[in-house]
Structures are given as C-alpha cells and as structure tokens.
Structure 1
Amino acid sequence: MHTHVRPALAVAMTTGLVVGVSGCAGWGGGPAGGGADTINVLMVNNPQMVDLQQLTAEHFTAETGISVNFTVLPENDVRDKISQEFSSQAGQYDVATLSNFEIPIYARSEWIAPLDDYVEADTEFDQDDVLGPLTASLSGDDGKLYGEPFYGESSFLMYRKDVLDAAGVEMPANPTWDEVAGIAAEVDGAEPGMAGICLRGQPGWGQVFAPLTTVVNTFGGTWFTEDWEAQVDSDRFREAVRFYVDLVREHGETGAPQAGFTECLNNMIQGNAAMWYDATSAAGSLESADSPVRGKMGYVAAPVVETDSSGWLYAWSWSIQQASQKKDAAWEFISWASGRDYEELVGEELGWSRVPAGKRASTYSNPDYLEEAGAFAQPTLEAIQAADPNDPGVQPRPAPGIQFIGIPEFPDLATQVSQDVSSAIAGRMTVEEVLDRGQQLAEDVAERYRERDSG
C-alpha cells in the first residue's frame, strides 16, 4: 500500500506545502473558504497528485469556472489532518484523498457523502468503466458509493528476466511462495551485490505488513476469525511470518529491517536485487525511459500457497465531506480528476507513464498507454481484477481488506506488531516472541469487538 501502503507511493516533499489554484496559482496561503465557485481539496503529496495540481487551473478551472485550493501534505500528516477535519465535520475542506481503508469506516460514521446520485446523473463519468473491485471497496455497508478512485494498484512479483535466464531458471506464470524461495536461493549473488529478492522489512502497517499480510492470507492465516477471535499466534500465521522472515534474512536485501517500498525500488533499479514482491504501481518507475532495468523486467502474479490469488488492493480516492456546502462543485472536480479524459490529458501533456492508472478498464485498451506500459499493463489489470477484499483468504473475515483489516484499530495494532517483525528480521527477536506479543495486542482489539457484538 504507494499503496501503497502506499505508504508505498509517498514521496519526500516539503511538509505543509499549500497550492492555491485559482486565477493565479502559486505557493503559500491556506484554504480561505473562497466564494461559491471555490472548493478546498486536502490531498496526499504523491507524484500523481502533484501532476494534478499543475493541470487543474488551465484544464479544469478554465473550463468550469470552479477554482480549487489544494492543501498538500505527506501521507502520515494528511491522514491525521483528514481524520481531525472529517471527524469534527468542520466543513473547511470539501474534498479529500482517502483510501479504500478509510472510506468504508468514514461512511459508517457519516463523515462523507454518498455519490450515487451524482454518478447516476453524470452520464459522461461512466461508473461501469471503473474496475469492479475498486467500486466495491469504495462502497459502504449500505451498498452506496462513497469514493471515486484517482489511481489503483494491486501487488505482483517483479523479476529480472535476464538474470534468471543466465542462471537457467524459469519463472512460473503463477508461482508459489516455495518456488519463489527456491529461485531466490538460486539467483542470490548472481551478480556482485545482488540479493535473491527484496521484501519490505520496515516497520509500519502500510510497510512490512502490506506484503506480509498477503503472505499470511495465502498461507491460510488471518488476523481475526469471523467472530473476532485473535489468530496472530495460530499455526498458519506463525508459519507465514517465519517463512517471510527466513526468506528475507537468507536471500533478501542488505538493510532489510529498514527497507520499505522506496528502498526496494532503488535496489531493483540499481541492480541490487533479482526479484521484488510489491505494488503494481512500481512498474512504471522500473520501465521509465531513464531506468537502467527498462525492458529487462518480467511481471507475474503474486505468489500463492493455499489461495488462487493473493494480490492486495489499494486506491487513493476522492471523497466529499458530508459537511461541505459545495457538494455539486466538489463532484465536478472529482468527475474530472477520476475521469477518462483526465487520463488522456496526462498522457498528452506529461507522458503516458505518468497516467494515474489502475482504475478504469478503458485504460488497458488504450493503444497510447499500452505502448508505454505494455510490459506490465496486463499483469496489473489481472491482479486488480482478481483481488477480493471480502474473501482474501481461506476463511470468512469480520471486516473487509486484503493487506489490512478494515477497522480503525488496525493501523495501531499492525504498526506495533510490525516493529517486532522488523526486530525478527534484524535477528533481535524470534518469530515466536513476536507473535506471542502480537497475540496479546490483537486479543485486546478482538475483545472490544466481541463485547460490542454481544451488546
């Protein structure tokens, strides 16, 4: 999760930059409320959003007369600010970037507005073109739609075709984790300084536990049973974590306990890893014009054990604050930013590798996009289409989510456990110690939900 989670896609920018896009765009100032034709948008500073800022005044405001004040913050900061703003229903911001983790939770609290009436009236938006798993993951318990994706991602295995070929190793189209571990052992050290595989080890619910929870799922484990029994110290959860920790310790990258999405991306680009399991959105960087591994990469489905698929699902998306007094103008902005025409605009103005993809079926039949993204477009589409947040493992779950559990307590729970997982990767703790402590934390969460359900 950029995502990733997306933690995966966050980039380093100056904290707290605010962009006002109106008659004169420039740095500085905060949301001033504006007139009837001004909306305030609070968003994460990922590269795709930075591109959006650059295009809004000339291509949205000029056409609609609606000015947009952007407040742009790093991921952790923007999550905190959005939570404070929307929980208080202050109404200062009309639109915010939320993920498919937050949207069902915020919908339950009635912090965000349903979009169904807008979608039905806006015949040009074409909701049917939005990939089904994303529409489902951005809906509430009531079946109503509460968000529109700006871009989406799943996860898959990326590997150096030339390195495997030189070692006489063939990558299966649908590998198992045992097969991946075997390949990692064979190609470890194939080139000077090259690890067999790169896997996230950095603490964080959206860092190490994004890929690791998908491994737990396909090994047959789960954080909680359907009736809220904690399963962190169960045999299958334990087997999955032990496998992951052993694999990255034996054949993983240097500095694995501190390695997240960005570090693994750099390792792949610099030739320091032969394989990488992570977000599909990473492929655009690997195949960019200036990437030394462009054309050398192969992409296959996320490795499995007991499930048919195991790729995650994540989407940075737009939602409207329930307290907004400018919902119509807010929808116009969302419809434009998540629309098919916006993708065309980015492709023509900035290049097709920068299109915020992973959300519309039409993207994957666009010849201009496919010319740029042909190496990874189909595997990405297949990964997203195979993702099922309501059935990601071998048993029923109490809440939706693949690489996360869709409850407010999950970020704190998984972040605490992840710190110990990183310690295990560093050799400072055993997996048994990690999961015994994790079970206690998970039981505290589970008990609250059992009491709620029984009450």
Structure 2
Amino acid sequence: MKFPPLHLPKARKFLAIAAVAALAMTSCSPAANNAKETIVVAIVANPQMKDAVSLQDDFKAKHPDVNVKFVTLPENEARAKITASVATGGGEFDVVMISNYETEMWAANGWIDNLQPLADATPGYDTADFIPTIKDALSYKGDVYSVPFYGESSFLVYREDLFKQAGITMPEHPTWAQVGEIARKLNDPSKDFAGICLRGLAGWGEVMAPLDTVINTYGGQWFDKDWNAKLDSPQVKSAVTDYVNLLHDAGQPGAATSGYGDCINRYSQGKAAMWYDATAMVSSIEDPASSLVAGKSAYAPAPVQNTKSAGWLYSWSLAIPSTSKHKSAAWDFISWMTDKDYIKLVGNKIGWERVPPGSRQSTYEIPEYAAVAKAYAKPTLDAMYGAKQSTSMVNPVPYPGLQFVGIPEFQDLGTRVSQQISAAIAGQKSVDEALKQAQLYAEPIAQSYKEGGK
C-alpha cells in the first residue's frame, strides 16, 4: 500500500501541535561520563520496557563504549513528547519507541531512518524472523523503519468451563451473530454477570480499537479509495448498531465508561462469559496470582461478518530519528533490545512469562516459552498472521491500519468520533445521530485529501 504523503498544510499543523507539546519536554542532555558515546532512549513505562532497563548490564558488557540514558514516560506522555521531538527536529532522542501508527507516516516524511541496511549488516539479526504482518506494518517501500519490541492482535476469550456447563460450543470461526446469540444466553444481570465485555469508553485507542475491526468486517470504511468519508454508510451503521445493541442486551454495566482496564478486571474476576480484545490480555487473565479464571479460558479468532478474519495489529517498536548524531550506537542498542538473544535473556533472567510477545516467530519455538504460553500461543499467532487488510476488510481503503486510520488527523478525528459512539452506548443519542455527527467530523478531512491530489 502506498501511504498518502503528508501535504504541507497538514505538516505545518502537525508540527505546530508537536511544538506545543515540546514545551513540556524535559532536558535530556547527556551527562559527563567515561563512555565514548551517550545515547538518549525514550521508551514507554510499561513492565516489559522496565525489564529492558533492568537488563542493561548485558548491553554494557557487549558495548562498553556506549552509555545509555533512558527517558521513561507513561504511554500518553511518551507519545506526545516523542512526537514533539521527532516532528520538530528537536534532536533530544537517539532512539524512540513508536508504533505501527507512526512508523509509515514518519518514514514518508523523512523523520526516521531506514533501518533495513543496518539490520542486513548485523550478523544473525534476521528481520525475516519478524512476524510477517508486524514487519509489513513497520515498513515503508519494502524496508523496515522501526523494528518490533513486541506485537499484538485481537481475539475472543471465553470461559470454556461455563460453556461446557451450559452445553454451548464456541464455533471454530465465530461470527458476530453467533457471539451475540451466545452472549444473550449467558448474560445474567441479577448476578452481575455479563454475557460479553466490550470496550465502550471514548478514545481512539479505547472503544474505536475493537469497534473498528467490527466496522471492517461488516464492509464499512472511514474513507473509501477516493477519499470520500463513509461513516454514515449502511455498512458502518449496521456494525455500530450491532455493537451497541450487544452491549445494551448482554454487556457489562456502565459500558459507556468501560475500557480495557475495566474489562480485564471484570473478566479476570469471573464476571463475564466472553471478552473480545487485545491478545496481550493473556498476561493478566492467565496469571493465577491475580485472576480467578486462570486456566479456565479458551480462545477463538476475532468474530467476523463478511471477511475471512477481523483482528487488529499493533506493535511497540524502536526507531532512530533522522536528527540523531549517534546512529551507529543507537542501532547497537536497538538491535540488542529486539534480537533473538534478548528474548532468551528475559526468559532466563526474569521469567518466561515476561518475554515480549508477538515480535519474532522464533520466540514461539523456545520450549520454555511454549510451555508457559500453551493455551494462547497458537491463537495469538493465528490472529497476528491474519491481521491484514486483504483478509480483514471488504473494500479497499487509501490508508494503512486496521484499528486506526493511518493519517495524522486520526488522533483528533478518532477521539471525536469515539465520543459520539460512547454517547450512543450510554443511550444519550441514537446510532443514527452519532454517525451523522461523525460524518460531519470526517468530511473536511476527506476534502483536504481530495484537494491534495490523493
């Protein structure tokens, strides 16, 4: 897919937004030390990234002339500050943690370096080992511009024990109609038990993540191939209506304010029969220290309607800003943190359940990891291999992405549309009213891309 270049008015607007965010940037000048070079690495503050920081002695032993200074921030703050720095050419960072949402856009704008030549010149690094859909999502014109630390898709988890008790069999490839029928049968509000948990909380990364995959499999689009806004199409209306009705009939209480965290807590505490969401859920729901349903679940592919598959695709990855003055050292660090040996280092030093999932195919061939991930390894890989537009969308679109639209404007557009969807879930307006307003939000953006000759 050719990504639509960011034309100048959009670039200026994007840079202006980034510049405002940059005002909050903490100074990251390298401290004096005996190392030959100091690189500044900006990463997200989640457990697996913190594990990487804790394992720095291994990197230092292999690269004694490189000193690493970490800037570790919560996800929303990290995304804003990294975007601000890279988009404005601030040069504060030598390595940045981004995702497949940013990678292709930033590569097209020349904001990050092509990593393919560096990867090819590194013995044993093996980019062919990356899960293919993840590699494609992090590539531009056939070359990788960021490399995956971990990746995820989406699937449907369900209480296998309760299904057996009720005499219900989960279809091998469930449709949304079948999922809806099962959810309504198992729903029991009198016991605070939901037939299914689905995100309803406003946010382009909250309700829109699962809902966009429903829209895709129903044949809907945000924009068609000619950049016409399509949020008020019959296909989108059907997808959103079924999603909203399912939550009204068999979803969790307070669904309009329920996000990923609420669903993971509800399902883990035995208060839902099913949950459709990120494959990364397994680290919580299968943890016997915190989950009441560990070992009681099975996994099915993302529900479909008119497509072969319907999952999403997301990856936290590492890139080198074009402004870095320490690119060789930056690649030394990136290749260390995303190499096959790093996976084994985490497993042996910290624990196999902490291994970053979904980046390399070889991870799933390690016996120790295979034993820990027995219940969900194959469903995770199947979901990730199937997460591509050719099998998860009915009609072609001019943008990359499955659970997002890969254009700069989507962060704002997706948030505003999600607020309309959340209002419909809350019963504050009808689906028709919500989508009518969503269409009005999308049309000016569609027009700008038409005028730009896309």
TM-score above 0.5: yes
Partner of 1:241: 240
* Residues 204-213 or 255-264, more deviating: 255-264
CA shift at 1:308, angstroms? 0.1
Q: Distance in 1 between matches of 2:173 and 2:55?
A: 39
Query: Where does residue 12 of structure 1 map in the other structure?
Result: none
Moved more, 389-398 or 102-111: 389-398
Q: Is the 8 A contact 2:310 2:391 kept in 1?
A: no
1:173 and 2:184 are equivalent in the alignment: no
2:443 aligns to what?
443
* 2: CA distance, partners of 1:36 / 1:435: 57
Q: Which stretch shows the higher mean deviation, 72-81 or 283-292?
A: 283-292
* Structure 1 equivalent of residue 419 of structure 2: 419
For 2:433 and 2:407, the matched residues in 1 are separated by 25
Other-structure match for 1:118: 118
**Closer, same or farther in 2 for the Cα pair 1:30/1:342, shift >3 Å?**
farther
Which residue does the alignment assign to 2:399? 399
Is 1:31 the counterpart of 2:39? The answer is: no
What is the DSSP-based 3-state SS (H/G/I as helix, E as strand, rest coil) of the residue aligned with 2:139?
coil
Distance in 1, matches of 2:82 and 2:280, equals 24
Distance in 1, Cα, partners of 2:317 & 2:190 = 40
Deviates more, 1:123-132 or 1:233-242: 123-132
Deviation for aligned residue 1:392: 3.4
| Matched residue, 2:323 | 323
CA distance in 2, matches of 1:288, 1:191: 28
Q: CA deviation at 1:48?
A: 1.1
Counterpart code for 1:254 = P
Q: How does 1:54-453 map to 2 (within 5 A)?
A: 54-56=54-56, 58-65=57-64, 66-140=66-140, 142-189=141-188, 192-290=191-289, 291-389=291-389, 392-453=392-453
**Residues 42-62 of structure 1: per-residue CA shift (max 9 Å, x gap):** 111122111111112x11123
The answer on whether the counterparts of 1:228 and 1:447 sit within 8 Å (CA) in structure 2 is: yes
C-alpha separation between the residues in 2 aligned to 1:273 and 1:391? 29
How far apart, in 2, do the equivalents of 1:68 and 1:30 lie? 15
Identical aligned residues as a percent: 46
Please state whether the residue corresponding to 1:53 is helix, strand or coil: helix
Q: Determine helix, strand or coil for the equivalent of 2:267.
A: helix
Whole-angstrom CA distance in 1 between matches of 2:319 and 2:139? 11
d(CA) in 2 for partners of 1:380 and 1:52? Answer: 23
Q: Secondary structure at the match of 1:42?
A: strand
CA shift, 1:190, in A, is: 8.8
Which residue in the other structure is 2:15 paired with? none
User: Post-superposition shift, 1:194?
Assistant: 1.1
Tell me how far apart the structure 2 counterparts of residues 403 and 159 of structure 1 sit (CA, whole Å). Answer: 22
Where structure 2 has 5 or more consecutive residues not aligned to the other structure, the ranges are: 1-25
Q: For the residues of structure 1 that align with 2:171 and 2:366, how far apart are their CA atoms?
A: 28
Q: Could you say if the C-alpha distance between residues 172 and 390 of structure 1 is closer, same or farther in structure 2, counting changes exceeding 3 Å? A: closer
Q: Is the 8 A contact 2:152 2:358 kept in 1?
A: yes
Asked if the contact 1:284/1:373 (under 8 Å) is kept, the reply is: no
Distance 1:391 1:82 in 2: 32
TM-score, normalised to structure 2, is 0.91
Choose 212-221 or 279-288, whichever is displaced more: 279-288
Please tell me the root mean square deviation across aligned C-alpha atoms, in Å. 1.4
Give the letter for the 1:128 counterpart: A
**1:190 and 1:424 mapped to 2: Cα distance?**
21
Which SS does the other structure have where 2:144 is aligned? coil
Sort the Cα spacing of 1:108 and 1:186 in 2 relative to 1 into closer, same or farther, 3 A: same
Distance 2:89 2:390 in 1: 29
Partner of 2:42: 42
Of 187-196 and 325-334, deviating more is 187-196
1:16-56, Cα deviation, whole Å (9 max, x unpaired):
xxxxxxxxxxxxx9522246422101111122111111112
SS in 1 for 2:69: strand
What do the CA deviations read for 1:300-354 (whole angstroms, capped 9, x no partner)?
1000000000000000000001010111111111111111111111111221111
The residue identity in structure 2 corresponding to 1:202 is L
Q: Are the counterparts in 1 of residues 307 and 391 from structure 2 also a CA contact under 8 Å?
A: no
**CA–CA distance in structure 2, aligned partners of residues 131 and 342 of structure 1:** 16
Spell out structure 1 runs of 4+ moving beyond 3 A.
389-392
Q: TM-score, normalised by structure 1?
A: 0.91
CA distance in 1, matches of 2:157, 2:30: 45
Distance change in 2, residues 1:286/1:269 (3 Å): same
Deviations 1:274-299 (A, max 9, x none): 10000001112111231221110110
User: Partner of 2:28: helix, strand, or coil?
Assistant: coil
- Quote how far apart the aligned CAs of 1:228 are: 0.2
Distance 1:218 1:204 in 2: 21
Q: Which amino acid aligns with 2:362?
A: S
Determine the C-alpha separation between the residues in 1 that align with 2:94 and 2:446. Answer: 34
- Once residues 92 and 282 of structure 2 are traced to their aligned partners in structure 1, the CA distance between those partners, rounded to angstroms, is 36
| Counterpart AA for 1:352 | W
Give yes or no for contact 2:40–2:95 (8 Å, CA) kept in 1. Answer: yes
* Alpha-carbon separation, structure 2, partners of 1:79 and 1:120: 28
Question: Whole-Å Cα distance in 2 between the matches of residues 405 and 389 of structure 1?
Answer: 12
Report if aligned partners of 2:308, 2:391 keep a CA contact under 8 Å in 1.
no
Gapped runs of 5+ residues in structure 1?
1-28
Report the AA paired with residue 386 of structure 2: A
